[in-house]
Amino acid sequence: MTIQDIKDYLEAELVYGEEFLSREVHNACGCDMMSDVLAFVKDQSVLITGLCNPHVIRTAEMMDIICVVFVRGKTPTEEMIEMAKEREIALLTSNHRMFTACGILYQKGLGGGDLC
Amino acid sequence: MLNDHIHLSYEIVSEDFARAGEAASDVKRVLKKMNVKPDIVRKVAIALYEGEINMVIHSLGGTIDVYIMPNEIQMKLEDIGPGIEDIDKAMEEGYSTASETIRNMGFGAGMGLPNMKRYVDDLDIKSGLGQGTRITMRVIL
Ligand SMILES: Nc1ncnc2c1ncn2[C@@H]1O[C@H](COP(=O)(O)OP(=O)(O)OP(=O)(O)O)[C@@H](O)[C@H]1O
Ligand SMILES: [Mg+2]
C-alpha cells in the first residue's frame, strides 16, 4: 500500500508531501498517546492519530514514520507542516474517526504488527 | 572517557514544551550523519526523547550529555529534582503521575521509562524523593 492509496481509501486531503505519495507503507499504528506510539517500532509505518500538536511530528521523527494521518478532520498548523517538511514526513487529514480510519486500512490489508 | 569520543551537551528547561525533543532530534541528526546503523539511531533517539520529555514534564530542569564512542553510545540525563519516590513503580507500564493537561498533549501513558528500558542495552536510574534523578543509558554499537 502506498501513501497515495491511504489518501484514496480514507478520502483524505494531502496537507504536505506530494513527492512522497508513491512511498510504500508496511505497517500502521493508531494512537493518541505518544509513548504508546514509541513502544511500536516498525519500518515504513504510518501513524493514525487524533492528536494534533508538534509533538506528533517529533514522535514520528524519532520513529522514522513516513506518514501521519490526522483523523476527525484535524488540520496541522503551519509550524507542524514546516517540521514535517524538514523531516520529509507526509501529512494527511481525513474526516473519518480513528476507529473507522484504522478499520478501512486494516480491511485493505495494512497490518499493525505482532502482539505486544 | 576515551579520547576519540564525541560529546554532545544540552540544557533541558522544565515545562519548555516548545523545545522538548530538540536534544533527541539533534543527536539523531548527528548519528545519521556519522552513518550509524538506522536501527541503532532509532533506539537512541526514542530512549533519549522519552528521557528528555520526562525531564521537561516531571523535573525542574537539568542537563543531557551524550557520549558517542567507537563501541557504544552513552546518555546521561541529570535533573535537579523533585526525584522519583519509587523507581520500581515508575518502571511499571501504565504508571504515571502526569496531569490531565499533560495527557491532553499526548503524554502520560506511563510508557516512557518502560520504553527506555526496551530500547537500550543498559539503563540505570538513581533517584529519590527530594533529590535529583540521574539516568544513564548505554547502547552498544
Ligand atoms: N525525571 C523525572 N523526575 C521526576 N519524576 C519522574 C521523572 N521521570 C519519570 N518520573 C516519574 O515516573 C513516572 C513514570 O514515567 P514514564 O516516563 O514511564 O511515564 P509518563 O512520563 O508519566 O508518561 P509517558 O512517558 O508515557 O508519556 C512519571 O509519571 C513520573 O511520576
Ligand atoms: Mg514519560
Instruction: State the pLDDT at residue B129.
Output: 95
Rounded Cα distance between B27 and B11, Å, is 13
- Bigger pLDDT: B1 or B49? B49
C-alpha cell at A86: 524538514
**For residue B2, what pLDDT band results from cuts at 50, 70 and 90?**
low
Instruction: State the pLDDT at residue A40.
Output: 86
Please report whether residue B50 resides in a domain: yes
Q: Which residues line ligand 1 (CB under 6 A)?
A: A 35; B 50, 54-55, 57-59, 79, 82-84, 90, 95-98, 107-114, 133
Instruction: State the pLDDT at residue A114.
Output: 78
**For residue B107, what pLDDT band results from cuts at 50, 70 and 90?**
very high
The answer to whether residues B35 and A70 touch, using CB atoms and an 8 Å cutoff, is no
Rounded Cα distance between B107 and B50, Å, is 10
Q: Output the domain CATH number for residue B39.
A: 3.30.565.10
B102 touches chain A (CB under 8 A): no
Please report whether residue B77 resides in a domain: yes
pLDDT greater than 90 at residue B55: yes
Q: What integer is the mean pLDDT of B91-114? A: 97
The DSSP code for A111 is B
pLDDT greater than 70 at residue B3: no
pLDDT greater than 70 at residue B1: no
pLDDT tens string A75-93: 999 999 999 999 999 999 9
Tell me the domain boundaries of chain A.
3-107
Bridge partners of A27? A45, A111
pLDDT greater than 90 at residue A116: no
pLDDT tens string B21-52: 999 999 999 999 999 999 999 999 999 999 99
Q: What is the pTM for the complete model shown? A: 0.96
Q: Which domain holds residue B30?
A: 6-140
Please report whether residue B92 resides in a domain: yes
Work out the percent of chain B whose per-residue pLDDT is above 70: 98
CA of A25 to the centre of ligand 1 (A): 32
Instruction: State the pLDDT at residue B17.
Output: 95
Rounded Cα distance between A67 and A89, Å, is 5
Which of the listed residues A35, A55, A56, A58 should we mutate to test ligand 1's pocket, taking the one with most ligand atoms within 8 A of CB? A35
pLDDT tens string A4-47: 999 999 999 999 999 999 999 999 999 999 999 999 888 999 99
If one counts the domains in chain B, the total is: 1
SS3 assignment, position B10: strand
**CATH code reported for the domain at A3-107:** 3.40.1390.20
Please report whether residue B1 resides in a domain: no
Listed in sequence order, the residues at least 6 apart from B77 whose beta carbon sits closer than 8 Å to its beta carbon are: B12, B51, B52, B55, B62, B63, B64, B133, B134, B135, B136, B137
Instruction: State the pLDDT at residue A79.
Output: 97
